[in-house]
Amino acid sequence: MFDFQKLDVYQKAKEFNKDITKTLAFKTFDRVTNDQLRRASFSIMLNIAEGSSRFSKKDRRNFLVVARGSAFECAAILEYLYEINELNQAIFTKYFDFLEEISKMLFSLIRRLDDD
């Protein structure tokens, strides 16, 4: 087992990515939005994984910051889709809450690396 697989935030990010992938299979947003949401959701997971492989705290921190930025990007895309009536309230809230939790978990890990 790799170190990143032991992280709760990685498991949450992977679950979020799988849910988004399923949603995108059933919803047809415009091609650019589809692609951007898929990439941003995947980026959260991948940057957590890649950051765990780094030896310096500074490098690990940078990857976690990028992962958190991708979570914010997903939140912005979902908010846009909700506001143009492409997502209903329940789906929007589910994903937004998911992202908020991931963001808080990443923030906590980032702060821990700053304190060490």
What's the pLDDT at 54? Answer: 94
Taking 80 as the threshold, does the pLDDT of residue 108 lie above it? yes
Upper half-sphere CA count for residue 81 (Cβ side, 13 Å): 27
pLDDT digits 0-9 by tens, 7-27:
999 999 999 999 999 999 988
What's the pLDDT at 33? Answer: 95
Q: How many domains does the chain have?
A: 1
* Rounded Cα distance, 23 and 38, in Å: 10
- Least confident range of 20-29, 31-40, 83-92, 106-115: 20-29
What's the pLDDT at 6? Answer: 97
* Rounded Cα distance, 93 and 114, in Å: 31
CATH number of the domain to which 64 belongs: 1.20.1440.60
What's the pLDDT at 26? Answer: 87
User: What domain range includes position 102?
Assistant: 3-115
DSSP letter string over 42-67?
HHHHHHHHHHHT-SSHHHHHHHHHHH
* Rounded Cα distance, 31 and 109, in Å: 34
* Rounded Cα distance, 57 and 84, in Å: 41
Mean pLDDT score, 70-76: 98
